Amino acid sequence: MELLVASAIGVLTMVGLYLVLSRHSFPVIIGTTFLTYAVNLFLFAMGRLAIDRAPITGSGSSDYTDPLPQALVLTAIVISFGMTALVVVLALRGFLETGTERVENSPAGDERRDLHHPGADR
């Protein structure tokens, strides 16, 4: 079971990184979502969650589960939802201002310059 969970975390991370490195904004958004899924699964796996055990309620109880990983994952879900909403709004604003949804690093005001020809800006 540990190999399956570790493989799932690795696959989610690889797919997320591949999509984040693309040149279009929609795959970048989906890639960050995959990365947050990988982090959430990693937090659950590191928390050693137990089935049918009570959370920490008092001293003297030796059979309990730690509620901290569940709280961390719940917080991460809320933060990732807010982050995804912000990135979608930024991508929409970028599309409305530039007319394209490509993610490129071009100087301001030089969107139409041909970068393959050094003398094209003269």
pLDDT above 80 for 15? yes
Q: Tell which wins on pLDDT, 81 or 66.
A: 81
pLDDT given for residue 115 in this prediction = 52
Q: Tell me the whole-structure pTM to 2 decimals.
A: 0.72
pLDDT given for residue 66 in this prediction = 78
- Average pLDDT, whole number, for the chain? 82
pLDDT given for residue 30 in this prediction = 94
Using one digit for the tens of pLDDT, what is the confidence trace for 30-59? Answer: 999 999 999 999 988 887 767 777 777 777
pLDDT given for residue 32 in this prediction = 92
Q: Is 34:20 a contact under the CB 8 Å cutoff?
A: no
Q: Which residue in 67, 34, 61, 74 sits closest to 48, CA to CA?
A: 67
Query: What gap in Å lies between CA 38 and CA 17, rounded to an integer?
Result: 11
pLDDT given for residue 17 in this prediction = 96
